[in-house]
A = this chain, B = another copy of it.
Amino acid sequence: MIPTLERIRVRYGETDQMGHAYYANYLFWFEQARGAWCRDRGFTYKQLEEMGFFLPVVEAHTRYKGEVKYDDWITVKIWVSEIKRAAIRFDYEVTNESTGKITTEGYTWHVLMGSERKAVSISPDVRQLLDRDPAQFETV
């Protein structure tokens, strides 16, 4: 499916004493990319929550293949790779712009929860948000 690209500059506070970005920060960046993915399709994750839906992460996987350092620009490429009855999977590819190399790959699985914080089937109106073609929508 059509990916979204989100550029992020690495903060000093995201490094550790080994001199690279600490491994947990990629999950923050993945989340930022999910927000950008929604915006590219004309809605925000915040609006989804205001509609009474949540997409908590139920599984996360990250493979670290290269280095990311302070002040590097990274690009997170994100796309939906699978949609099940009540679950959705995002895939991620992080490129370090200073080297041009893919440094990290990962995915996250999310379940759709309703306002009672229970898993619910993806309804047609939520499904049409997920299926949107970003070319048809203004980024918000």
Instruction: Give A contacts to B, CB under 8 Å.
Output: 9, 11-13, 15-20, 22-25, 27-28, 31-32, 35, 44-46, 54, 56-65, 69-71
| 30 pairs, A vs B, C-beta closer than 8 Å | A11-B31, A12-B17, A12-B22, A12-B31, A12-B35, A12-B45, A13-B16, A13-B22, A13-B28, A13-B31, A15-B17, A17-B17, A17-B18, A17-B20, A17-B69, A17-B70, A18-B54, A23-B27, A24-B31, A27-B27, A35-B71, A45-B71, A46-B70, A56-B64, A58-B63, A58-B65, A59-B61, A59-B63, A60-B61, A61-B61
Contacts beyond the supplied A17-B19, A24-B28: 5 A-B pairs with Cβ under 8 Å: A16-B17, A23-B56, A23-B60, A24-B24, A45-B71
Q: How far is the CA of A20 from the CA of B58 in the complex (A)?
A: 13
Chain B residues in 8 Å Cβ range of A44: 71
Contacts of A19 in B (CB 8 A): 17
A58 to B59, CA, bound (A): 17
